[in-house]
Structure 1
Amino acid sequence: MARPVFLLPFALLLLASTMASADVVEHSFHVQNLTVRRLCHEQVITAVNGSLPGPTIRVREGDTLVVHVFNKSPYNLTIHWHGVFQLLSGWADGPVYATQCAIRPGHSYTYKFTITGQEGTLWWHAHVQWLRATVYGALIIRPRAGHKYPFPKPTRREWWNANVIDVENEGLASGGAPNISDAYTINGQPGDLYPCSQKHTHKIKVVQGKTYLLRIINAALNNQFFFKIAKHKMKVIAVDASYTEPYVTDVVVIAPGQTTDILLTADQSLGSYYMAAHPYASAAGAAFDNTTTTGIVVYDGATSSTPEMPVLPAFNDTPTAHKFFSNLTALPMDHTGPQCHFKSMSICS
């Protein structure tokens, strides 16, 4: 059985992974400005290690993660480890002025914490203003060495992200809502429904009959999303690094900051199929970008290059969203150990 991962900002990400067991996993993040070309224009963004999305971190449950952050950008920033329990390490969580002071331009900071009691998909992102629009990446937690997934092992894994400072500051100065985005992305690419984007549309290749683990991360600033793959069912098996009772669906609904792990079986005819996402927006009168971002699932051996498009729910389809969330049930776990609550605070000058 196979397995992929996705990140939404809206951004969606996909990747294959192999990782040896390790007690300490160490990374260096160099945060600096980067010029990218999207939608026929060049834009200066802030990114980690020169990539959008940023680097994917892979650990096993029980590992200690050490990340050295070097702030070469013109902004204050911190890195938040979204969804990590941070048992006995709350100071490493990353919300600026809540658990730590900002890392100032030209300065560095080292995060160190242990991944305890979690398996699945989480993510990391900047936690100052709207820098998280481009400063983010996946955090993949595999079972401890010798332990297995609570479902048949997939063939491979991939991930995607469904996805700024000036925009936020303009909104704060005017007292009005910030401008809506110009595009959503899958793994940093808007998809071929946007101008100047077809050549870079994100694609994943699958083999007929194989099963893949897709890790979906909604790294969008504010939007929930509907996500579908044309003619394919998806089996939800985890949310926010917590296993769920398997739930088969043709649409995934995912909120900002949330992660969802799904199993996708390549059980259709050889061909190409769009995976597509657009917003779920139930608030009347609220402005939002109503465009659709796409990637393409391509079967090995397919001769047709024209993908089939899924029919996405209406933007305000609350019954579909409610049905999806109502069917998510946690997989029973052993909670025999002590349950503690920890609080931390920081003082900044």
Structure 2
Amino acid sequence: MVLNDSENLDECGLSMDMGVSGEVTTKLKGCFNSKLRNLGKKSSGFKKDVGSLVDSNGGMGRSLFANDYRYVGSLKEGKKSVGRISKVVSGPQIHRTKKQKNMGSEKQGFIWLSGLLFLNILALSTAEVLYYEFFVSSLLSFPPSLFLQESQFTKLCSTKSILTVNGSFPGPEIRVRRGDTVFVNVHNQGNHAVSLKWEGVKDSIDGSNELIQPGRNFTYEIELEDEIGTLWWHATSAWAAATVHGAFVILPAANEDYPFPAPTSDQTIILGEWFREELTEANQTIAPGSADAYTINGHPGETYGCSNDTTYEMQVDYEGLYLVRVINAIANETMVFGVASHSFTIVGQSGDYSRRSFTNSLTLAPAQVVDVLLCANQNVGHYYITARPSSGAHITNGILRYTTTSSLI
């Protein structure tokens, strides 16, 4: 096969509009030829039922939840989704709603999460209904409790208090399926009023007029329709959004397959920013280029001169095909993202599938999300993952690490 043979590329459902050529692309094309044989088959171990029993290590499909939790069973209801956030309910913590009483008692369940933004999920069938309960807090001001984790975050050789979700930065990843209904009950135990926006959900409300005051809680009802792929959520104010954000992954419905070769696994990558100073309501806007560092999934990498800084690492198996969900959570920076010696095939953007195309790197505007396929088809070794602003000098790096011993010959 010849790389520039458009007929052969069409067999893979790929295009040459990005002008990619050379050995890297040739290897990627070969990988796709083998993966296409499995098109239409379900991926074993990847398309897990969100309603399955999960363990304390976060077995629910590579969730970013870092703490012990339990989830048992599901509830079922034949409910039509209308594709919007239709209702916001404030008041006390919700454990059993009128809807739940009418659903029957086939199965019931809870998820308990550690940290500052606590989620409780109950799953329903075909269009499932998922209940999340969040506790939000400034870590240093939150009293000791079962949910408390770290009280400080140290990056760039300095320690400060930040507002977090479930005690993690970035916050936890929410995973649902197309057509699900999701309830998110947010408990604000921080010092400032906060609201969340569900970026990319159709007909959504940003919650800016529904600020959750300290000590209060607020419930969002999110009814999904045809959104698919990767979205994200974040605080509505710029100062809080720098640390209060996370991925919102929408998997295909239980009876659906991906319209591209089934991936071996998937990985979410959130590009963020870090400031040495404490961000408060006084920082209502964040100027471009004002961040002291950029982060990959909360890790600043090794380029900022602090030996204590951690580096993000993504592990892959040789010849594995990975669905990588890249989110630019940086308020005012266009970011360039890439992996040394590897190419991407774009398959989705901001909650929808897209026409597939090759590219060596991604350029993401603020708040943009891109889903790509990455084929681990290079010589076994370690490769830099890089993220940098399109108009700046700061470069943040991570590592793509091959874990198998086979090598491309």
User: What TM-score comes out, normalization by structure 1 length?
Assistant: 0.73
Deviations 1:6-56 (A, max 9, x none): xxxxxxxxx982699741112111111132010111011000111111110
Contact map agreement 1:171 1:177 (CA 8 A) in 2 = no
1:232–1:16 CA distance, 2 compared to 1 (3 A) = farther
| Segments ≥4 residues shifted beyond 4 Å | 18-22, 164-173, 176-179
- Which residue is equivalent to 1:205? 315
Q: Distance in 2 between matches of 1:172 and 1:68?
A: 25
1:148–1:44 CA distance, 2 compared to 1 (3 A) = same
Higher relative CO (CA 8 A, sep ≥ 6), structure 1 or 2?
Answer: 1
1:126–1:197 CA distance, 2 compared to 1 (3 A) = farther
- Which residue is equivalent to 1:116? 225
Q: Distance in 1 between matches of 2:244 and 2:212?
A: 14
Q: Distance in 2 between matches of 1:247 and 1:16?
A: 30
Letter in 1 for 2:306: C
Q: Distance in 2 between matches of 1:104 and 1:252?
A: 38
- Which residue is equivalent to 1:26? 131
1:141 has 2:250 as partner: yes
Deviations 1:256-288 (A, max 9, x none): 11100000000100100011010113xxxxxxx
Matches within 5 A, 1:258-337: 258-281=368-391, 290-301=393-404
Matches within 5 A, 1:155-304: 155-163=264-272, 180-196=290-306, 200-281=310-391, 290-301=393-404
Contact map agreement 1:122 1:259 (CA 8 A) in 2 = yes
1:103 has 2:212 as partner: yes
Q: Distance in 1 between matches of 2:247 and 2:228?
A: 13
- Which residue is equivalent to 1:17? 61
Q: Distance in 1 between matches of 2:232 and 2:380?
A: 33
Deviations 1:273-309 (A, max 9, x none): 011010113xxxxxxx531111110011469xxxxxx
Q: Distance in 1 between matches of 2:365 and 2:294?
A: 14
- Which residue is equivalent to 1:59? 176
Gaps of 5+ in 1: 4-14, 282-288, 304-349
> What percentage of aligned pairs have identical amino acids?
36
- SS of the residue corresponding to residue 264 of structure 1 reads strand
Q: CA-atom RMSD, angstroms?
A: 2.7
1:302–1:271 CA distance, 2 compared to 1 (3 A) = farther
Contact map agreement 1:167 1:179 (CA 8 A) in 2 = no
Contact map agreement 2:162 2:278 (CA 8 A) in 1 = no
Q: Distance in 1 between matches of 2:156 and 2:232?
A: 26
Q: Distance in 2 between matches of 1:197 and 1:138?
A: 29
1:94–1:298 CA distance, 2 compared to 1 (3 A) = same
Contact map agreement 1:170 1:178 (CA 8 A) in 2 = no
Letter in 2 for 1:300: T
- SS of the residue corresponding to residue 341 of structure 2 reads coil
Q: Distance in 2 between matches of 1:171 and 1:125?
A: 16
1:229–1:133 CA distance, 2 compared to 1 (3 A) = same
Q: Distance in 1 between matches of 2:283 and 2:249?
A: 34
- SS of the residue corresponding to residue 214 of structure 1 reads strand
Give 1:82 deviation, angstroms.
Answer: 0.4
1:67–1:74 CA distance, 2 compared to 1 (3 A) = same
Q: Distance in 2 between matches of 1:180 and 1:70?
A: 30
Q: Distance in 2 between matches of 1:116 and 1:192?
A: 42
1:177–1:291 CA distance, 2 compared to 1 (3 A) = closer
Contact map agreement 1:272 1:296 (CA 8 A) in 2 = yes
- Which has the higher mean CA deviation after the structures are superposed, 124-133 or 136-145? 124-133
- SS of the residue corresponding to residue 293 of structure 2 reads coil
Gaps of 5+ in 2: 1-34, 36-42, 47-58, 64-73, 75-122, 140-151
Letter in 1 for 2:343: K
- SS of the residue corresponding to residue 257 of structure 1 reads coil
Q: Distance in 2 between matches of 1:116 and 1:59?
A: 12
Contact map agreement 1:226 1:280 (CA 8 A) in 2 = yes
Letter in 2 for 1:299: Y
- SS of the residue corresponding to residue 28 of structure 1 reads strand
Q: Distance in 2 between matches of 1:172 and 1:186?
A: 24
Contact map agreement 2:185 2:220 (CA 8 A) in 1 = yes
Contact map agreement 1:189 1:197 (CA 8 A) in 2 = no
Give 1:195 deviation, angstroms.
Answer: 2.8
1:81 has 2:190 as partner: no
Letter in 1 for 2:180: D
Contact map agreement 2:300 2:309 (CA 8 A) in 1 = no
Larger Rg: 2
Q: Distance in 2 between matches of 1:230 and 1:108?
A: 45
- SS of the residue corresponding to residue 162 of structure 1 reads strand
